[in-house]
Amino acid sequence: MAANPVYPVIWKDDRVLLIDQTRLPNDYEVVDIHQAEAMATAIETMIVRGAPAIGVAAAYGMYLGAREIQTSDRHQFLAQLEVVAKRLRATRPTAVNLFWAIDLMLKTAHQTSGDVAQIKAVLLETAQTINADDVRTCQQIGDHGLTVLPSQPGKLRLLTHCNAGALATAGYGTALGVVRSAWTAGRLERVFADETRPRLQGAKLTAWECVQEGIPVTVITDNMAAHCMQRGMIDAVVVGADRIAANGDTANKIGTYSVALVAKAHNIPFFVAAPLSTIDFAISDGSRIPIEERHPSEIYSVGNTILCPQGAEFYNPAFDVTPAHLITAIITEHGAIAPADLQSRLQSLVTA
């Protein structure tokens, strides 16, 4: 079946339109965002989620905050813009794209000459550029992924964890970008999507995206991945990332580390698909990546149904860190890079 491309963050008619991902797959609803605080809330409540999409949303949030500032004094404007940035930074601590986009918007504001009106106009242009660049980057990631996926007589069966698709980016996706490119190239047989407890992004969002485009998808529970690998049902794993340390250690949705360990045990390649903006060279290794902890209700309830006995305690980290030695390659918009080569490769790109 054919489907229109999915774009979870759109600028239209002086406002931001977000697909409400908390309503999928049963309901497709679009939320209008007019103010920076509304954008912060949308990020916190996961109306918009996925590191690249969060970055794009935060960029627009910075512009919306700038638009609300009522002063013509440049210094006062920049000071108040820092307050907007502080609020947006506090929304999701693990996704580095959030901080990258906010820092870029602040840098743009400080470096733009002219009056406050001019700065605001340039901030909107910058947010729109971040948006468009992310779609293009994801398409490049998808195409580069084709060069490193296993070569074999039959079509590929890929496993993914969480959602790193169009919904998690400005469009097309990172891990699902690789899947989409493989499907378009006629190399994909099927996607296996881990359900991804506790918020079920794989079951709800990855499966939804695949169904929209007619890509064969099988949803499995998180604890079935090892069984499927043992039975020879998986040829490669492709996941996204929320932050990558300088040494290649990668933070992604909780449960990713388990999948990587099992893939290693079965000699199955494990790929991370992410833009260079997800790499945080200020962090030496994964032990320094901040891990967001979310409300325990995500574990003990589904909708209005309580799953656990009263009196139990809960631990709900949203992410875990996969060590670099478990990662076959990191697929970026500049090609697939071995984790150990990240810093030297980036240096070569800067000096090229």
DSSP string, 279-325: EETT--SGGGS---B--THHHHEETTEE-S-TT-----BSEEEE-GG
Annotation marks residue 13 as catalytic: no
Token digits of residue 172: 């097309």
DSSP string, 23-71: TTTT---EEEE-SHHHHHHHHHTTSS-SHHHHHHHHHHHHHHHHHH---
CA distance 250 to 283: 11
| Strand, helix or coil for residue 211 | helix
Contact (CB, 8 A) for 318 and 294: yes
Contacts of 122-127 with CB under 8 Å at 24 or more apart are 123/62, 123/63, 123/66, 124/11, 124/63, 126/59, 126/63, 127/11, 127/56, 127/59, 127/60, 127/62, 127/63
CA distance 345 to 174: 20
Identity of residue 312: A
The one catalytic residue in 134, 143, 235, 242 is 242
Mean pLDDT by 10 residues, the chain (352 residues): 75 96 94 97 95 95 97 96 97 89 97 95 97 95 96 94 94 96 96 96 96 96 98 98 95 98 98 93 94 94 91 96 98 95 79 58
Report the candidate in 178, 176, 159, 179 with the shortest Cα–Cα distance to residue 231: 159
CA distance 344 to 281: 12
| Strand, helix or coil for residue 331 | strand
Contact (CB, 8 A) for 323 and 340: no
Identity of residue 132: A
**pLDDT for the residue numbered 303:** 83
CA distance 9 to 57: 7
**Radius of gyration for the alpha carbons in the chain, expressed in angstroms and rounded:** 20
Token digits of residue 256: 């990713």
Contact (CB, 8 A) for 147 and 333: no
